Chain A
Amino acid sequence: MESFQDVLFKLKKYWSDRGCIIQEPYDLEVGAGTMAPETALRVLGPKPYRVAYVQPSRRPADGRYGENPNRLYKHSQLQVILKPTPDDIIDQYLQSLEAIGIDLRKHDIKFEEDNWESPTLGAWGIGWQVMLDGLEITQFTYFQQCGGIDLDVVPVELTYGLERIAAFLQGKDSVYDIEWTPGVTYGDVRLAEELQFSVYNFEMADVPALWKLFDLHEKECQRLLDAYKDYPDKKRFPVLPAYDQVLKCSHVFNLLDSRGALSVTERVAVIARVRKLALGAAQCWLDQQNLQSEAAGAAEVAQ
């Protein structure tokens, strides 16, 4: 039987063998692997990139106090970005399933329309949810736009739902019964975290403090973005720290949402505020990339 961590190892190895950088999770709270700069920023511009990483994804509103066998406040995604997309991507993807022990001849695989969209990131793509015997195991997306910018090169994003896949492989009805490694269950490792964060997210997070945090992070981000234009040495400019502030805003927004602190109009307005920051950071990042590639081009010509 494949343990939870075996599945992680094998998928990472599989994509490593296909030229991916294996990254560690981004060390800030994010709602999805897409939010990590390794995806949200790297998909911009013409430069090829291949990366895979496991991203713990926090969605405060999805928490269930550890009582629901399938729903988690924090779940793990294996995020794969291949930029540009190889022509045989679907075959490569299907082989990755074989690599973790799924004999496709004995199972039923379907690709069902599902177009992913993130209004806060100004990002969307075209794709499918991949169904294995009726279970959604992967979100498969051809990115079209990110940070409100049409992408020069179309990357594919594969997002594997690791708990679901492990539960499927192990035939477990509850994620908490998944064997993490022999003798240790997923529940042993994570149940307390699910419970405590559910209590915090739904009952105890201080709403006025959250609003303050949101304002602070927003202000800090905007201050940086405003400074970009006149900053003399652009390659030194801290675009990545500015983007971190976007992520913090996004997480605080999710917390406010799970606390039920946002009315309809507020919700729309706050999404727009985060989106504005995300678009600004994406613009700066892309500009910085272009300047660097121009500089590299000029250096080549000089030689």
Chain B
Amino acid sequence: MSLPLLLEIGTEEIPDWMIEPALGHLQALFQELLEQNRLKAESVKTDATPRRLVLRAEGLPERQPDAEELISGPPASAAFKDGQPTGAALGFARKMGVDVADLTIQNTPRGEYLCYLKRTAGRATRDILAEGLPQTILGIHFPKTMYWTGKGGPRFIRPIRWLVALLGAEVVPFEVAGVKSGDRTSGHRVLGQQGIAVSTADYEQALKANFVLLSAQERRRKIESEIEALLQGTGLKVRPDPALLNTLVYITEYPTPILGSFDPEFLKLPEEVLVTVMRHHQKYFSMEEADGRLAPRFIAVMNTNSDAEGLVRHGNERVLRARFNDARFFWSVDQQKKLEDRVPDLAYVTFQAKLGSYLDKTRRIVKLSRRLAKLAGVESAAVERAALLSKCDLTTEMVKELTELQGVMGGLYARAQGEPEEIWRAIYEQYKPVGMEDSIPSTATGRILALADKVDTLVGCFRVGLIPSGSKDPFALRRAAQGVVKILVEGKLSLPLSKLIGKDQALMEFFLDRVRYYFREVRGFRYDEVNAVLAAGCEDLTDVESRLEAIQAVRPTENFEPLAASFKRIKNILKQAEFAGGGVPDATLLEQGPEADLYSAFQALRSRVKRLRKKREYRTALEAIASLRPQVDSFFDRVLVNAPEPDIRLNRLTLLHNLLSEFSAIADFSEIVTTLADARGPAASPGTRP
């Protein structure tokens, strides 16, 4: 008979962002438990609300299958003497707890041995689960856990308050943190009952009757469809915000959206401020009019079924009004002191304990942005001014309250205080790009400032040992480095990497990981193309991009991959010969035919390729190199590199070395994986994520 399993871990409210990863982990741990016990389920699925993590399996066997294990004892030759069991045989039987008569002689790969076929009856699935589930539950990984039963007690994300564990109609009995498993669940905190008896069949329905929608998908649909209904005929639109929607799905058990409004007077405040207050502080969706302007309305999502008297709407409107009033106050009070006059105050704002205050950082950014502007050929006065003012908004009341608006606020204040657009926009966009989907700063000044800020953080943190490891990256250095790469490439800034980050080898490695990630995952180049191009140099990322584009374009042509294979061959030959290079081939030692042909073709090409390379016409250069293929092929078909005469051999190696080094400046072709099946390779190997 096959049985369904229901496991519900009833907790106090779990932080929304931890729930989905926890479910993944729960499922994996459960599968492990099954595998370890030779059990199989037809299906396993998980669900959650803030107060419950749920795993349901279908088709579990009532018992584990029986097991047979062949245990070998002494060799048959030593087991019996004159038809009588020896001491060795008797000892083995004793050890197995059976009579010698229960043992058999078996033919094993090592010869004939006295063996015992041990049969173990499968255990009841219920017993296995009762034993294993406590560890499965407590094994779920959470970023931060607590204890609640006392020091040394079990740890979980929040206290476990009830457990439902049913296999078929029976409770799987166990205990975690003093809570015994049973068949009773709890409904919605306010609208539902407690101690509701459930079965595996009626569980989800029983929850629904108690105002708990177990399925995240269902909660999401309820929010979306009810918002749509609220907006019917209003002409308003919701500004889509999938991350906020997901948060709301996981902080509610029975979500219901309501539509609220605020005084249109507040629309005089910068839209950035209004949206941030609504989004980050109140978890409201912003709304817009048909023409795209921000509307004086919002959508809040309640964790209850209705707001019949409008009290919840009224309460939320009141809170929002207070927050907007605060913001209006900050906006006017902050204007009383210009950004410029706030520079000294930055001494009182910590950047990082070991790296000093934001005043220290500002001084470094000013210097660095001046240097970068010169290197990039950007006019430096505006950059320096923007850099000087860039962190001043950290001392404003608005940013102290709405930290998400740092940078943006500085830009808005700079604009209000009459700074030219070039400067205020650079300040406004200094933290861009905030992710790989975000755009880079829109102006050259802004790009230099954003680079200087990020590079300062990276170099500083690496210097004092704050290097990201695993999932720990408190200063968001990966994002900063990713941002630098994106700005350099997409901003077409030919700044040498070593000039940006200096000599720190660990930081260079860290950067190269970001560079690889960017070109592979964001730009979609193949991993071997990226390796080939980076092996030929990675100082200038705009140049890396040009070379990659050229490779990508030339790769499908008929000569390219075979030539790449030949280059790999050349590399191997030189390596085996331990040939260090140097010198040029001696034309007089060349054999007529393929060798001389290759040499003259190479001679004819090299200066042309060099010229094309200088002009960064990599595609044409690569096509020219690829045109050598017939000569290279025929050389390898008909010429023996390892000629018996040492001088001829040396000359041939020199020729190959010249060929390789001359034509490897765009990309190291030997890195190209030449069978197409391989070329997809380990594109997503561990450690390449940003």
Q: How far is the CA of A221 from the CA of B15 in the complex (A)?
A: 40
Question: Per-residue 0/1 for A242-255: is the Cβ within 8 Å of any B Cβ (1 yes, 0 no)?
Answer: 00000000000000
A227 to chain B, nearest CB (A): 29
Q: Which of B291-306 contact A (CB under 8 A)?
A: 300, 302-304
A110 on the interface (CB 8 Å rule)?
A: yes
Compute how far the CA of A151 lies from the CA of B159 in the bound complex, rounded to whole angstroms: 16
In the complex, whether B161 has a CB less than 8 A from a CB of chain A is yes
Does chain B have a CB within 8 A of A106? yes
Which of A68, A109, A152, A265 lies in contact with B303, CB distance below 8 A?
A109
User: A133 with B16: in contact, given A152-B151, A267-B350 (CB under 8 Å)?
Assistant: no
A173 at the interface (CB under 8 A from B): yes
Indicate which residue in A109, A112, A126, A264 contacts B190 across the interface (CB closer than 8 Å). Answer: A109
Hey, what's the 0/1 contact readout for B82-96 against A, CB within 8 Å counting as 1?
Answer: 000000000000000
Whether a CB of chain B sits under 8 angstroms from the CB of A144 is yes
A142 contact set on B, CB distance < 8 A = 146, 148, 159
Interface residues of A in 75-100 (CB under 8 A from B): 84-85, 87, 90, 94
Partner of B148, one of A111, A128, A154, A264: A154
Contact A109 B189, CB 8 Å, known A132-B315, A133-B315, A134-B282: yes
The answer to whether A104 touches B190 (Cβ under 8 A) is: yes
- In this complex, the interface size class of chain A, counting residues with CB under 8 Å from chain B, is 35 or more
| B300:A154 contact, CB within 8 angstroms | no
Let me know if A134 and B325 touch, CB within 8 A. Answer: no
Query: In the complex, which residue of chain B has the Cβ closest to the Cβ of A132?
Result: B315
Chain B residue at minimum C-beta to C-beta distance from A174: B322
Cα–Cα distance between A71 and B401 once the two chains are bound (Å): 12
Q: Is B147 positioned at the interface, with any CB of A under 8 Å from its CB?
A: yes
CA distance in complex: A150, B13 (Å): 23
Q: How many residues of B contact A (CB 8 A)?
A: 50
Interface bits A135-150 vs B (CB < 8 Å: 1, else 0): 1000000101000001
- In the bound complex, what is the Cα–Cα distance between A68 and B148 (angstroms)? 39
- Asked whether A268 lies within 8 Å of B353 as measured between CB atoms, the reply is yes
Q: Report the separation of the CA atoms of residues A264 and B302 in the bound assembly, to the nearest whole angstrom.
A: 41
Instruction: Tell whether B638 is near chain A: CB-to-CB under 8 Å.
Output: no
Give chain A residues whose Cβ lies under 8 Å from the Cβ of B314: 133
Q: A70-B322, A264-B347, A264-B357 are in contact. Are A134 and B190 (CB under 8 A)?
A: no
Digitize A22-51: 1 where CB-to-B-CB distance is under 8 Å, 0 elsewhere: 000000000000000000000000000000
Q: Check if B50 sits within 8 Å of A111, measured CB to CB.
A: yes
A85 to chain B, nearest CB (A): 6
- CB neighbours of B220 from chain A (8 A): none
In the bound complex, what is the Cα–Cα distance between A69 and B327 (angstroms)?
A: 12
Chain A residue nearest to B252 (CB atoms) is A110
Chain B nearest CB from A72 CB (Å) reads: 13
**Which residues in B have their C-beta under 8 angstroms from that of A151?**
151
Known A111-B13, A113-B15, A133-B319; contact A264-B356, beta-carbon cutoff 8 A: yes
Q: Chain A residues near B146: list those with CB within 8 A.
A: 125-126, 142, 144, 154
Let me know if B144 is at the binding interface, CB within 8 A.
Answer: yes
Q: Once the chains bind, are B191 and A105 in contact (CB under 8 Å)? A: yes
Complex: how many Å from CA A150 to CA B148? 12
Contact of B316 among A71, A90, A113, A133 (CB under 8 A): A133
A134 near B151: Cβ-Cβ < 8 Å: no
B239 at the binding interface (Cβ < 8 Å): no
Residues of B451-499 contacting chain A, CB below 8 A: none
17 example contacts (A-B, Cβ-Cβ < 8 A) are as follows A70-B325, A85-B148, A87-B161, A94-B189, A106-B311, A107-B304, A108-B303, A108-B307, A109-B304, A110-B251, A128-B13, A133-B315, A142-B146, A142-B159, A150-B151, A260-B348, A264-B351
- Kindly list 17 other residue pairs between chains A and B, CB separation below 8 angstroms, not including A108-B315, A113-B16, A262-B348: A84-B150, A85-B148, A105-B191, A106-B311, A106-B312, A109-B189, A115-B144, A126-B158, A128-B13, A133-B311, A134-B282, A134-B319, A142-B146, A144-B147, A151-B151, A154-B146, A168-B315
Interface residues of B (CB under 8 A from A): 12-13, 15-16, 50, 144, 146-151, 158-159, 161, 189-191, 251-252, 282, 300, 302-304, 307-309, 311-312, 314-316, 318-322, 325-326, 329, 345, 347-351, 353, 356-357
Q: Which 3 A-B pairs have the closest CB atoms?
A: A133-B315, A113-B15, A111-B13
Name A residues whose Cβ lies closer than 8 Å to a Cβ of B: 68-71, 84-85, 87, 90, 94, 104-113, 115, 125-126, 128, 132-135, 142, 144, 150-154, 168, 171, 173, 260, 262-265, 267-268
